Amino acid sequence: MSLQLTPIDRAKYAAARRAVDLVEDGMKLGLGTGSTAAWMVRALAERVREDGLRLTCVATSARTGQLATELGLKVVTLDEAGWLDLTIDGADEFDTDLTLIKGGGGALLMEKIVATASDRMVVITDASKEVKTLGHFPLPVEVIRFGWQSSRMLTEELLSAMDVMGTQAALRMNGETPFVTDEGNYILDLALGRIGNPRQLSLALNQVPGVVENGLFIDICDAVVIGFGDGRVEMRDIASGSVEHEKIVFEDEDNIFRDI
């Protein structure tokens, strides 16, 4: 009996399948975090099994590392791997310049470190994540726990002078307690509505005492692979300006998704 996958799940898997075709034997890879990245890790493990690729992987979160290890991928630290050839990750929003909002999964700090330690970053996503102007998705900002309320007040004060629609910063919760990142920090989610100048906002946020990093990824992403529910994929490369289209065939969903 075949699993009944949602169109969004099929779109994510189609994008992931296309992205792992970019992987070559001997590469050092950054593995992203989130639901779309999880499809990528599974598709990557499938390629390793079928094609015998020798890869060294760096995970951007504990849960990605655990999944990759369980699927037989070699996972090391970034310090052990050194510079990476490619990072494949998801995004919560992206615009036409491939500026991203990331951090919905709570791993923005490690994701940004790994992405910027790579020759190339490719984002995999479904079409719903593309926007004309960033900001509908809350912008995550990672802060240290000490004095986090002061950091929140300073952040909200700063936002009043930025080109944004909203100024509310909410502490991310995990049930009844604050969400804690793998690095032991808290996350403030900024309800901005619209971000008129992402570069200016990113620079300003990182000047707030207690802020570790923010979820704006600027001039980091090189290409985006957009998946659709019917298996179609569109790959846009910002450097070359090229746009490629193809279709992924779902041959055996029982086999593909048996570990979910």
Catalytic residues: 111
Is 96 annotated as belonging to a binding site?
no
**From CA 128, how far away is CA 133, in angstroms rounded?**
13
Task: Return d(Cα 252, Cα 113) in angstroms, integer.
Answer: 36
Question: Could you tell me which residues are beta bridge partners of residue 191?
Answer: 168
* Residue 36 marked as a ligand binder: yes
Q: Is 35 annotated as a binding residue?
A: yes
Residue found by looking up tokens 């593995």 in the block: 31
| Angle, CA of 202, 206 and 63, to the nearest 5° | 90
Alpha-carbon distance values, 61 to 1, 36, 75, 80 (Å) = 33, 14, 11, 16
- Say whether 170 counts as a known binding-site residue: no
Q: Has 105 been labeled as part of a binding site?
A: yes
252 annotated ligand binder: no
CA distance 64 to 108: 13
Q: How far apart are CA 180 and CA 190, in angstroms?
A: 17
* Residue whose C-alpha is closest to residue 64's, from 114, 116, 24, 101: 114
102 marked as binding residue? yes
Residue 90 marked as a ligand binder: yes
Q: Please indicate if the annotation marks 74 as binding a ligand.
A: no
193 is annotated as contributing to ligand binding: no
> Is 91 labelled as part of a ligand binding site?
yes
- Is 33 annotated as ligand-binding? yes
According to DSSP, the residues that pair with 124 across neighbouring strands are 225
CB of 101 closer than 8 Å to CB of 130 = no
Helices (DSSP H) in the chain: which residue ranges?
7-20, 35-51, 62-70, 78-81, 108-116, 148-159, 198-205, 253-256
247 annotated ligand-binding residue = no
Annotated binding site for substrate: 33-36, 89-92, 102-105, 129
Annotated binding site: 33-36, 89-92, 102-105, 129
